[in-house]
């Protein structure tokens, strides 16, 4: 096939006052009307349950179709209100279909099914399999609230827009089980590897072509590098609405998010960062053969949009009206890497330690989904910093257990893709890591008077114990870290770190400065 080189239209960052026009200053040269098809695709990805940003996005997103690259939601069954609010957003935004992200699988299958039933659109994933329910034990079905995922997760869908058929195919991450926050919930599920996933995508493309569909959009939560591989090794995909790796893909750049398929046709990849800080608008012109001829990719900065009062009331009915808790006098920029110290997360650790009268507070840096900002702060702002609703857990933890856990977390973080799960945030403790050796090299306990007590990381004591506070995920689940204390040896409380942080700010009763640093040191 002789493929014309794609014409790229200069991208614009749009905001409430100046919305981009597909024509605008870049008026397109038109071929005869019947030989072209124009479409505007609004898109989001990796919203992670950030409801404040969702409300802002509602004031700006539009398109002939709205799609998502997955990870709209976050948290397990304790986050029921967040799940309901996410479904409300997807419906209000008019999201027609979404990929299945790993965070959709944070919760039990029955809870996911309930959320899916409240979403008017479709959840798509062609590369996930589940052990039949009739082959699972009654105990598994009841304990983990199992559901048949085929009832609410489909491989593909066809939609008609302006008289043209568009094929939608979805994928979930190939590392789905590794990224699950509660691995036990989904032992009956398997995501296929990239080769098998690519094969399944191509097979479905061929099926859609037989139905007369010549425009295909892949809703992918595979991640950017894998999206490129899929684009290169298939034929028939036109657009990949991506997610998972939190890339912020501005405009269209050949080799970056303009890839050519096996047959030389252009494939455009989008991804709008993470946490709903941006959303996108992709404008396309197809020729009569379903090949993209012209394209423009725009990103909207969510912070420039205001929350509509009606939407705020709707979300308050689901989430509860937020409580004003204090004022932030100063807050630093968000860290750019999970290997940087996170003063925002350290402050949350201070709150847990103080409110629970513990020796040490610990939190997972990767679970920090937003950041403190100067100005008034309410309970919904803090909830978005710590959206996972894992209960607070307190236990006596040995020095050796602490050292082993921090060593493992450091080594995994330095050696993993994206540096997940990240260096741990702390209070009542400081520690030193070696970036060159990628390991823990020192640690000190810091008492309430600020006095440091060295811990020998090469020979930690098993008889020395500290009262440690963390959430139940860090303390006992062990998905990313060593277990600090078995669940049966912990005292678990019916509230979470967001609640404790609200209480802490109220108890301080003064303007807050977020500058808790120096707790992670770097030896080289």
pLDDT tens-digit series, residues 357-397 = 999 999 998 889 899 999 999 999 999 999 988 999 999 99
Q: Is 374 exposed, middle or buried (0-12, 13-18, 19+ CB in 10 A)?
A: middle
Percentage of the chain lying above the pLDDT 70 cut:
94
What pLDDT band is residue 12 in, cutting at 50, 70 and 90?
A: low
What's domain 322-522's architecture? Alpha-Beta Complex (3.90)
Residue with tokens 């309970």: 379
Residue with tokens 């006596």: 396
Model pLDDT for residues 81-103, shown as the tens digit of each residue: 999 999 999 999 999 999 999 99
Lookup: tokens for 371: 């950041």
User: DSSP string covering 124-170, please?
Assistant: E-SSEEE--GGGS-HHHHHHTT---GGGTEESEEEEEETTEEEEEEE
pLDDT over 90 at 15, yes or no? no
Model pLDDT for residues 165-177, shown as the tens digit of each residue: 999 999 999 999 8
Distance, in Å, from the CA atom of 212 to the CA atom of 287, rounded to the nearest integer, reads 15
Asked whether the domain spanning 322-522 has the same topology as the one spanning 37-304, the reply is: no
pLDDT over 90 at 136, yes or no? yes
Which of 68-82, 171-185, 222-236 has the lowest average pLDDT?
A: 171-185
What pLDDT band is residue 28 in, cutting at 50, 70 and 90?
A: very low
Mean pLDDT of the chain: 92
Q: Where are the domains of the chain?
A: 37-304, 322-522
- The predicted structure's pLDDT at residue 10: 67
Model pLDDT for residues 413-449, shown as the tens digit of each residue: 999 878 988 999 999 999 999 999 999 999 999 999 9
Strand 216-220 vs strand 122-124: parallel, antiparallel, or unpaired? unpaired
Most distant CA atoms of the chain, gap in Å: 81
What pLDDT band is residue 25 in, cutting at 50, 70 and 90?
A: very low
> Are the C-beta atoms of 386 and 458 separated by less than 8 Å?
no
Distance, in Å, from the CA atom of 308 to the CA atom of 288, rounded to the nearest integer, reads 40
Calculated CA dihedral for residues 266, 272, 273, 276, nearest 10 degrees = -160
Q: What would the mean pLDDT of 20-45 be, rounded to a whole number?
A: 62
> Are the C-beta atoms of 388 and 367 separated by less than 8 Å?
yes
> Are the C-beta atoms of 286 and 39 separated by less than 8 Å?
yes
What pTM, to 2 d.p., does this model score?
Answer: 0.86
Strand 153-154 vs strand 216-220: parallel, antiparallel, or unpaired? unpaired
Distance, in Å, from the CA atom of 427 to the CA atom of 351, rounded to the nearest integer, reads 9
**Distance linking the first and last C-alpha atoms of the chain:** 55
Distance, in Å, from the CA atom of 244 to the CA atom of 509, rounded to the nearest integer, reads 39
Which are the contacts of 142, defined by CB distance < 8 A and separation ≥ 6?
none
pLDDT over 80 at 6, yes or no? no
What pLDDT band is residue 24 in, cutting at 50, 70 and 90?
A: very low
Q: Does 37-304 carry CATH code 3.60.21.10?
A: yes
- The predicted structure's pLDDT at residue 479: 66
pLDDT over 80 at 115, yes or no? yes
> Are the C-beta atoms of 473 and 392 separated by less than 8 Å?
no
Which are the contacts of 500, defined by CB distance < 8 A and separation ≥ 6?
351, 352, 355, 356, 392
Q: Is 139 exposed, middle or buried (0-12, 13-18, 19+ CB in 10 A)?
A: exposed
Q: What would the mean pLDDT of 146-172 be, rounded to a whole number?
A: 97
- The predicted structure's pLDDT at residue 18: 43
Q: What would the mean pLDDT of 21-44 be, rounded to a whole number?
A: 61
pLDDT over 90 at 518, yes or no? yes
3-state secondary structure 443-512: EEEECCCCCEEEECCCCCCCCCEEEEEEEHHHHHHCCCCCCCCCHHHCEECCCCHHHHHHHHHHHHCCCE
pLDDT over 70 at 2, yes or no? no
Model pLDDT for residues 293-334, shown as the tens digit of each residue: 999 999 999 999 999 999 999 999 999 999 999 999 999 999
Task: Tell how far CA 288 is from the center of its chain.
Answer: 37
Distance, in Å, from the CA atom of 102 to the CA atom of 305, rounded to the nearest integer, reads 28
Which are the contacts of 95, defined by CB distance < 8 A and separation ≥ 6?
44, 66, 67, 68, 72, 119, 121
- The predicted structure's pLDDT at residue 4: 58
């Amino acid at each position: 096939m002789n493929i014309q080189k794609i014409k790229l239209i200069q991208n614009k960052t749009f905001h409430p006052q100046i919305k981009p026009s597909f024509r605008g200053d870049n008026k397109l040269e038109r071929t005869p009307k019947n030989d072209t098809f124009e479409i505007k695709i609004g898109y989001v990805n990796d919203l992670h349950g950030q409801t404040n940003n969702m409300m802002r996005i509602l004031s700006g997103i539009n398109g002939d179709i709205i799609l998502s690259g997955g990870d709209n939601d976050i948290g397990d069954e304790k986050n029921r209100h967040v799940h309901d609010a996410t479904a409300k957003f997807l419906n209000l935004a008019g999201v027609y279909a979404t990929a299945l992200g790993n965070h959709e699988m944070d919760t039990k299958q029955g809870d996911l099914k309930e959320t899916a039933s409240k979403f008017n659109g479709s959840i798509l994933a062609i590369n996930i399999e589940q052990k039949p329910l009739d082959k699972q034990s009654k105990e598994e079905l009841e304990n983990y609230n199992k559901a048949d995922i085929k009832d609410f997760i489909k491989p593909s869908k066809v939609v008609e827009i302006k008289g043209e058929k568009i094929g939608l195919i979805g994928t979930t991450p190939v590392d789905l089980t590794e990224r699950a926050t509660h691995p036990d919930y989904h032992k009956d599920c398997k995501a296929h590897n990239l080769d098998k996933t690519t094969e399944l995508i191509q097979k479905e493309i061929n099926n859609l072509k037989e139905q007369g569909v010549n425009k295909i959009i892949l809703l992918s939560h595979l991640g950017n590098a894998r999206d490129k591989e899929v684009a290169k090794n298939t034929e028939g995909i036109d657009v990949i609405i991506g997610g998972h790796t939190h890339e912020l893909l501005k405009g269209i750049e050949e080799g970056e998010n303009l890839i050519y398929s096996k047959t030389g046709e252009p494939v455009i990849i989008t991804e709008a960062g993470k946490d709903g800080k941006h959303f996108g608008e992709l404008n396309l012109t197809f020729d009569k053969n379903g090949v993209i001829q012209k394209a423009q990719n725009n990103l909207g900065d969510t912070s420039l949009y205001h929350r509509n009062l009606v939407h705020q009331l709707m979300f308050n009915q689901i989430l509860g009206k937020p409580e004003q808790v204090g004022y932030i006098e100063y807050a630093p920029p968000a860290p750019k890497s999970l290997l940087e110290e996170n003063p925002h997360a350290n402050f949350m650790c201070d709150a847990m330690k103080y409110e629970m009268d513990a020796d040490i507070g610990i939190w997972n840096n990767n679970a920090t989904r937003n950041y403190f900002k100067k100005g008034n702060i309410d309970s919904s702002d803090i909830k978005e910093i710590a959206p996972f609703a894992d209960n607070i857990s307190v236990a006596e933890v040995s020095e050796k257990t602490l050292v082993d856990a921090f060593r493992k977390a450091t080594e995994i973080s330095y050696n993993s893709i994206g540096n997940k799960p990240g260096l741990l945030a702390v209070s009542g403790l400081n520690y030193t890591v070696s970036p060159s050796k990628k390991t823990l090299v020192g640690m000190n306990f810091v008492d309430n008077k600020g006095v440091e007590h060295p811990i020998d990381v090469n020979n930690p004591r098993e008889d020395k114990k500290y009262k440690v506070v963390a959430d139940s995920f860090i303390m006992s689940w062990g998905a990313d870290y060593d277990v600090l204390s078995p669940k049966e040896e912990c005292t678990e409380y019916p509230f979470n770190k967001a609640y404790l942080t609200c209480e802490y700010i109220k108890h301080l009763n003064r303007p807050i400065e977020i500058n808790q640093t120096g707790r992670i040191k770097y030896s080289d």
